[in-house]
Amino acid sequence: MALFVAPAVVSAQQGPVSVPARAPVGELGYADLADLILSAPVIATVTIRSATRIKGPEAADVAQGHARFYIDSDVNALIRGREGLPSRIGYVVDAPLDWRGRPPRLKKERMLVFARPVAGSMDQVQLAGPLGQQAWSQAMEDRVRTVAAEVVAPNAPPAITGVGNAFHVAGSLPGEGETQIFLQTADHRPVSLSVLRRPGEQPQWSVALGEIVDEAAAAPRRDTLLWYRLACALPPELPTTSTSALDAADAAQAQEDYRFVMGALGPCRTVA
C-alpha cells in the first residue's frame, strides 16, 4: 500500500502504554504474538528518528522505573494496515529505565510496532497493548509476517467463544467409541472436536472446520492459528451443560475425552 507523507505531531489522545523498549527475539511465545497481531490493525517496522521524554502532568501516571517518550519514527515497511501509513509516524511509549535509572537509547533503533490508528491523525498511532513495541530482527519480522498471513487467510479458523453439545457413541468392543464435541464460534461457523478410541490403540483426536467431519482431519500442530484458537480459548473442563443430554456413562467418557484433547493441546502459554 502506498505511503503518504504527513508531519508528525504529539497527540495526547494516544493513551500511552508501558512497553519494553527492547524485547529479545524469541521472548514472545506464539500466543502472545497472535494476541498482538489480532489486536493491531496496523503493524509496521520503523526506525526511531527521535525519542522526546515527556515530563510533568502528561507523565504523572508513569509506572515506577519507567519514563514516557514521544517517538518520531520513519516507516520502513507496512506489514498490515488497510488505510496505509504516512512515511513518518509518532506514538507514545513508556519504556523501562536501566538499573542506574537512565533512560534507554532509542534513537536510530529499529522496531516492530503493533498499533491502532488515531482518529483524525493519519501520522499518529496508539500501541496495541503493553507489548506493542518490539525490537526488530529479521527472524522476528518473519514470524510476524507468518502469523499475520494466517490471520487474514480466507480459510482462517474462527475465534472460539464456547463449547456446545457433546455426544458419545460406544463401539461394539470394550474400550471402543467416538466422542464429538461441537464448539461455538464468533462467526457461527461450525467447528467440532472428535476423539476416536479403539482397543489396544492410543486415542486419536482431530478438529473439523465444517459441517462434515473429514476422515482426513487431524489434530492441529502447535504454534499455528488453529492450535491457538483452541488452546487459548477452550475451558479446562467440559461444561456440564454440554453433556446434560447424555447418560452418566457417556457423559463421563465425553469428559475424559475432552481432558485428553486439552492435554494434547498443552498450555496456551508456558510459564517460566
Question: Cell digits for 158?
Answer: 474462527
Same structural domain, 131 and 172: no
% of the chain at pLDDT higher than 70: 88
> What is the pLDDT at residue 12?
36
Domain total for the chain? 2
Q: Has residue 3 been placed in a domain?
A: no
Q: How confident is the model at residue 80 (pLDDT cuts 50, 70, 90)?
A: very high
Quote helix, strand, coil % in the chain, to nearest 5.
20, 35, 45
**Residue bearing the bigger pLDDT, 252 or 20:** 252
Residue ending a domain, among 125, 152, 179, is: 152
Q: Are 216 and 207 in contact (CB under 8 A)?
A: no
**Residue bearing the bigger pLDDT, 84 or 111:** 111
Q: Has residue 271 been placed in a domain?
A: no
Same structural domain, 113 and 175: no
Q: Has residue 105 been placed in a domain?
A: yes
Q: Is the pLDDT of residue 26 over 80?
A: no
Same structural domain, 19 and 142: yes
What average pLDDT does the segment 197-219 reach? 86
Same structural domain, 119 and 193: no
Q: Which of 41-50, 59-68, 112-121 has the lowest mean pLDDT?
A: 59-68
Residue ending a domain, among 105, 135, 152, is: 152
Same structural domain, 57 and 167: no
What average pLDDT does the segment 121-138 reach? 93
Same structural domain, 123 and 203: no
Residue range of the domain that includes 171: 160-265
Residue ending a domain, among 152, 184, 203, is: 152
Q: How confident is the model at residue 18 (pLDDT cuts 50, 70, 90)?
A: very low
Give the predicted TM-score (pTM) of the model. Answer: 0.84
What average pLDDT does the segment 167-184 reach? 93
Q: How confident is the model at residue 190 (pLDDT cuts 50, 70, 90)?
A: very high
Same structural domain, 227 and 144: no
What average pLDDT does the segment 160-179 reach? 94
Question: Cell digits for 153?
Answer: 487467510
Q: Are 191 and 185 in contact (CB under 8 A)?
A: yes
Q: How far apart are the first and last CA of the chain?
A: 39
Same structural domain, 29 and 128: yes
Question: Cell digits for 174?
Answer: 470394550
Q: Is the pLDDT of residue 211 over 60?
A: yes
| H helices present in the chain, as ranges | 30-39, 138-152, 225-231, 248-265
Same structural domain, 33 and 87: yes
Same structural domain, 201 and 242: yes
